[in-house]
């Protein structure tokens, strides 16, 4: 038993909790095959896939998404640079199709290459081959654990579809959401809807069975076994056993009961990462300018956190860590850089080929909408009159004007930093700390 380092015992423990009988495999399905969803599924496959009679791990993605010629050529280079991958494809009689795709004699599809261990949003990091299902009903109808690897902007729609296939279910599945993003709702009062809440509303699965997993991590680096940690948030009944099940020597999973706030923070840092990318590109990676931006954006995040959380100081560490990694190497910061360099424009939309969904764009709109509501007014210290919270968040306002209303160019982010009327970031934090700021209604709390 000891030859697998206790993995089988961890699997058996989770099977018992889910009421699985002998001969009935634990069915884990990941819905959505972006970089993090694919890596998360591949980690499970690498760890537990050897116990085929006890667990079945699969991933769903839409069929018929084509791989363009340039990506096929790059993929061929990646394959030939990795002897282990090259040998595996030759052994599986799959190498020839990549040769043909490189020559333009064949079209590859995203679901097809995922079966061979290549994620379209992460071509440079081959993963293990995955069992791919393109029929959503087949993928989820009897799943015990469903992993939400979809962007927040697609979560509601897909889970409404899934709910149709769960009408006859007797047992309630456990859902682990990886999505970082939010929606704004203004009725009956302004509030945030997170992906776990979307899943709850779409399927009727109780919140105690829905968890959020997030943390400061880059998918490709986690798969390459860089040391990482994450936090699984939700009801104690499931978060503790699932944290134990997911934990690996290079991937430490902690657990926390504060589901919604952690989830919202995961969406908030994407907002400011886009601006950080813009500043980096516009100032030729000036360390000084980037640190000025960091001071302003973190003070705005702290200000917003005080509106959203009763004990905001508990979130400072996770929020800053997640922000830091996103600024260093995340797709939202990359997107901001490409906008500022003129290689992309907001008109191209927020789904970028080879990168996936840029979650920060919809989050900018949602946070701006919410914090513009007069019902949330706070006292402005200088003019001594009530203003909407967004008036104390100049970076957020500027990002909205660049990305959503399109009335300003990326250059405006520098103007926001240089505005001599901008309050010292310290003052914004003091305002938040000195007032009874907390608005439980923003997170749908009574």
Which residues neighbour 245 within 8 Å (Cβ) at sequence distance 6 or greater?
10, 11, 13, 14
User: Which pTM does this prediction carry?
Assistant: 0.92
Instruction: Check residue 446 and give its pLDDT.
Output: 62
Is 332 within 8 Å of 270 (Cβ atoms)? yes
Instruction: Check residue 311 and give its pLDDT.
Output: 81
Q: What digits encode the pLDDT tens for the residues 158-198?
A: 999 999 999 989 999 999 999 998 899 998 899 999 999 99
- Residues 32, 213: Cα–Cα separation, whole Å: 15
DSSP 250: T
**Lowest-pLDDT range of 66-70, 225-229, 315-319, 325-329:** 315-319
Confidence class of residue 308 from pLDDT cuts 50, 70 and 90? Answer: confident
When pLDDT is averaged across residues 329-345 and rounded to a whole number, the result is 95
Instruction: Read off the tokens for 351.
Output: 């789904």
Confidence class of residue 428 from pLDDT cuts 50, 70 and 90? Answer: confident
DSSP 172: P
DSSP 349: -
Is 20 within 8 Å of 144 (Cβ atoms)? yes
Question: Domains in the chain, ordered, with CATH?
Answer: 3-64+131-257 (3.40.50.720), 69-108 (no CATH), 260-443 (1.10.1040.10)
Place of tokens 């400011």: 272
Q: Is 435 helix (H, G, I), strand (E, B) or coil?
A: coil
Instruction: Check residue 422 and give its pLDDT.
Output: 64
Going by C-alpha positions, the residue among 178, 174, 172 that lies closest to residue 195 is 178
- Residues 175, 154: Cα–Cα separation, whole Å: 16
Instruction: Check residue 333 and give its pLDDT.
Output: 95
**Distance, CA of 12 to chain centre:** 29
Asked if pLDDT for residue 54 goes beyond 80, the answer is: yes
Is 243 within 8 Å of 255 (Cβ atoms)? yes
Question: Percentage of residues in the chain with pLDDT exceeding 90?
Answer: 76
- Residues 156, 31: Cα–Cα separation, whole Å: 12
Q: What digits encode the pLDDT tens for the residues 310-335?
A: 888 777 777 888 888 888 889 999 99
Place of tokens 């997640």: 322
- Residues 148, 195: Cα–Cα separation, whole Å: 9
- Residues 423, 393: Cα–Cα separation, whole Å: 10
Instruction: Read off the tokens for 89.
Output: 């494809």
How many helices (H) does the chain have, and how many strands (E)? Answer: 19, 16
- Residues 305, 266: Cα–Cα separation, whole Å: 12
Burial per residue of 91-113, b for 16 or more beta-carbon CB atoms within 10 angstroms, e otherwise: eeebbebbeebbeeeeebbbbbb
Instruction: Read off the tokens for 434.
Output: 């000195």
Kindly give the interhelix angle for 316-329 and 331-341, rounded to the nearest 10 degrees: 50
Burial per residue of 191-229, b for 16 or more beta-carbon CB atoms within 10 angstroms, e otherwise: bbbbbbbbbbebbebeebbbbbbbbbbbbbebbeeeebe
When pLDDT is averaged across residues 7-13 and rounded to a whole number, the result is 96
Residue 156, CA distances (Å) to 182, 235, 355, 409 in order: 11, 21, 21, 32
- Residues 135, 114: Cα–Cα separation, whole Å: 15
Which residues neighbour 124 within 8 Å (Cβ) at sequence distance 6 or greater?
78, 220
Tell me which H or E stretch contains 255.
strand 251-256
- Residues 91, 329: Cα–Cα separation, whole Å: 34
Is 136 within 8 Å of 60 (Cβ atoms)? yes
User: CB atoms < 10 A from the CB of 188, how many?
Assistant: 7
Asked if pLDDT for residue 421 goes beyond 80, the answer is: no
DSSP one-letter string for 354-423: TTEE-HHHHHHHHHHHHHT-GGG-EE-TTT-SEE-GGGG-HHHHHHHHHHTS--S-TTHHHHHHH-TTSP
When pLDDT is averaged across residues 211-217 and rounded to a whole number, the result is 91
Q: What digits encode the pLDDT tens for the residues 351-392?
A: 898 888 999 999 999 999 999 999 888 887 777 888 899 998
Asked if pLDDT for residue 420 goes beyond 70, the answer is: no
Active centre residues (catalytic): 269
């Amino acid at each position: 038993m000891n030859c697998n380092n206790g993995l089988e015992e961890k699997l058996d423990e989770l099977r018992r909790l889910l009421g699985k009988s002998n001969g009935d495999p634990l069915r884990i399905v990941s819905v959505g095959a972006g970089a993090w969803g694919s890596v998360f599924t591949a980690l499970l496959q690498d760890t537990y896939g050897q116990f085929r009679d006890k667990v079945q791990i699969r991933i769903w993605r839409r069929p018929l998404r084509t791989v363009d010629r340039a990506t096929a050529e790059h993929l061929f280079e990646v394959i030939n640079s990795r002897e282990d991958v090259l040998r595996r494809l030759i052994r599986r009689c799959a190498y020839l199709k990549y040769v043909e795709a490189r020559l333009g004699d064949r079209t590859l599809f995203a679901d097809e290459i995922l079966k061979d261990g290549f994620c379209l949003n992460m071509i440079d990091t081959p993963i293990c081959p995955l069992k791919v299902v393109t029929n959503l009903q087949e993928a989820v109808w009897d799943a015990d654990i469903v992993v939400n690897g979809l962007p927040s902007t697609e979560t509601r729609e897909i889970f409404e579809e899934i709910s149709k296939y769960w009408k006859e279910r007797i047992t309630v599945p456990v859902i682990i959401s990886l999505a970082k993003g939010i929606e704004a709702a203004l009725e009956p009062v302004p509030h945030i809807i997170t992906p776990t809440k979307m899943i709850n509303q779409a399927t009727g699965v109780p919140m105690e069975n829905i968890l959020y997993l997030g943390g400061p991590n880059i998918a490709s680096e986690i798969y390459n076994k860089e040391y990482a940690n994450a936090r699984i948030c939700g009801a104690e009944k499931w978060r503790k056993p699932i944290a134990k099940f997911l934990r690996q020597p290079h991937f430490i999973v902690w657990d926390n009961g504060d589901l919604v706030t952690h989830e919202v923070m995961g969406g908030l840092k994407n907002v400011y990462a886009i601006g950080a990318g813009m500043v980096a590109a516009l100032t030729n990676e000036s360390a000084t300018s980037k640190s000025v931006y960091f001071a302003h954006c973190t003070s705005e995040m702290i200000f917003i956190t005080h509106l959203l959380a009763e004990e905001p100081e508990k979130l400072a560490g996770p929020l800053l860590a997640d922000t830091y990694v996103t600024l260093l190497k995340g797709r939202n910061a990359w997107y901001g850089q490409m906008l500022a360099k003129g290689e992309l424009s907001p008109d191209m939309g927020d789904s970028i080929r080879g990168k996936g969904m840029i979650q920060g764009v919809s989050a900018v709109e949602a946070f701006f909408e919410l914090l513009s509501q007069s019902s949330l007014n706070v006292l402005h210290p200088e003019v001594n009159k009530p203003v909407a919270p967004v008036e104390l968040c100049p970076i957020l306002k500027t990002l909205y004007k660049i990305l959503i209303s399109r009335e300003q160019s990326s250059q405006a982010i520098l103007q926001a930093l240089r505005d001599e009327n901008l309050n010292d970031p310290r003052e914004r934090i003091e305002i938040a700390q000195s007032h009874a700021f907390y608005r439980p209604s923003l997170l749908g709390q009574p």
